[in-house]
Structures are given as C-alpha cells and as structure tokens.
C-alpha cells in the first residue's frame, strides 16, 4: 500500500502553524497572518523551527519553513508535483512579488508565491529570470507569462535544440510539467491568487501595497477554510 505522505504532511503543516500562533499568544487566530511581518521569525525563540525546519536550506523569507507550510496547505491540491512536502521543496521555490524592502507589506504572506524551479543549468529559473530581465518588475513578468500562454511555447521540445541565448524558452520547456496542469493564463492567475496584477503596470507604490494586502486577505481566508474543513 502506498504511504499517504500528503495526509501526514498536511497534518504536520497544520500543527506547525497552530504551534506558532500559540507561541505568539494568538491561539488559533489564523487572521494574524494577514498582516504579520514574517521578519519576526528572526527572533531567537522562533528561529530554528520556523525558519529552517529540519534542514538549514534557505534563510530567504519567502522560503521560511513556516511560509512553506502555508504554501503546502494552500496549493497541494491545485499544483502538480505536490504529493508531499518534500516534492514541493524539490520542484518549487518561494518568490517575492515586490522586492522593495521599505514597503510595509514586504514581509507579509501576500508578497510571497511559489514558482516552479526545475532548471537545465543552475540559475536558469523563473525567479532568477524575473530578477535579471525585469529587475523584479512583477507586471512585466506577468505579461511575459501571459505571452507564454498566448504563444503556446509550452509544447514538448528537446532542450538540446535550444540555444544558450534562449534562456526563457529553456526555462519554460524544462518546467513543462507545470504548464500541463496549469493550462491557461487564467488558471495561473486564479490558482496563484494574482487577480488584479494588471493594476501594477506603472509600478505605483500604493497599487503594489493594495495588491499585496488584498492577496494576503485572500490567502488567509482560504487557509482558514482549509484548516477548518
């Protein structure tokens, strides 16, 4: 009989979240995460368990162990290769939507998302491409994703036929497993709770703040519903 890692991992993630809330004296108050500055995890009493988990793999806030627990609960049923927590860590990386550190919303959950991270060569991933090509301009990145779906360049293709200069094409092809499940741009937006992204065209500070705020509310509303089910 195949072991049900998903059920075990969901229980682990739920307990991690509830334990953290108890530590913060916010017993079962899931709404606390809507505005929580996750930089508080750097406090000594939180650090090891909630930042690193079992492995000291990453210290980026969008990849904190607690943040990954929230990711897993929210998206394990909707994204491919999420049968276990380990699968998520293998196939996905956390990404920060708005990297401006003076933003009040910079370290809130609505500013973090999951992107597929399979690569042919190291550093050829979606999040690194977003940073290098668009200087983390999320609107431009979303337009690129939209064009990806319009141009249907997610078809199977031999990665060795792609030139070194075609970095975007290589990233898309190596992550084709993702686009087989997330089949349309509307699916991409809905699953990742990115509604309203088109309002970020001019990179206006207030628009970005409101986008992150609204996404936080949406994510935590869904988290509450799943945890209560």
Give tens-digit pLDDT for 31-73: 999 999 998 888 766 667 888 876 555 668 999 999 999 999 9
Q: Count H helices, E strands: the chain?
A: 11, 2
Q: Which residues contact 77 (CB under 8 A, 6 or more apart)?
A: none
pTM here? 0.92
Q: Is the pLDDT of residue 161 over 70?
A: no
**8 A C-beta contact, residue 20 and residue 53:** no
Higher pLDDT, 203 or 118: 118
Q: Residue 214 region, left (φ>0) first, then alpha (ψ -120 to 50), else beta?
A: alpha
Q: Alpha-carbon distance 154 to 156, whole Å?
A: 7
**More confident call, 149 vs 154:** 149
Domain positions in the chain: 5-228
């Amino acid at each position: 009989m195949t072991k049900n890692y998903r059920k075990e991992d969901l229980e682990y993630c739920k307990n991690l979240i509830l334990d953290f809330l108890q530590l913060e004296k916010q017993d079962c108050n899931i709404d606390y995460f809507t505005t929580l500055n996750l930089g508080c995890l750097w406090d000594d009493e939180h650090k090891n368990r909630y930042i690193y988990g079992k492995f000291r793999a990453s210290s980026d806030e969008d990849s904190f162990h607690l943040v990954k627990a929230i990711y897993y609960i929210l998206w394990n049923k909707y994204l491919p290769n999420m049968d276990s927590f380990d699968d998520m860590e293998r196939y996905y990386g956390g990404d920060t939507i708005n990297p401006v550190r003076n933003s009040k919303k910079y370290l809130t959950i609505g500013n973090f998302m999951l992107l597929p991270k399979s690569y042919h060569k190291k550093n050829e991933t979606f999040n690194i491409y977003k940073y290098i090509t668009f200087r983390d301009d999320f609107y431009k990145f979303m337009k690129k994703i939209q064009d990806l779906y319009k141009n249907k360049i997610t078809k199977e293709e031999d990665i060795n036929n792609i030139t070194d200069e075609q970095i975007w094409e290589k990233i898309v092809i190596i992550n084709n497993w993702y686009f087989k499940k997330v089949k349309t741009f509307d699916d991409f937006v809905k699953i990742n709770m990115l509604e309203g992204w088109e309002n970020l065209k001019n990179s206006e500070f207030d628009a970005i703040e409101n986008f992150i705020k609204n996404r936080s509310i949406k994510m935590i509303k869904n988290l509450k519903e799943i945890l209560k089910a």
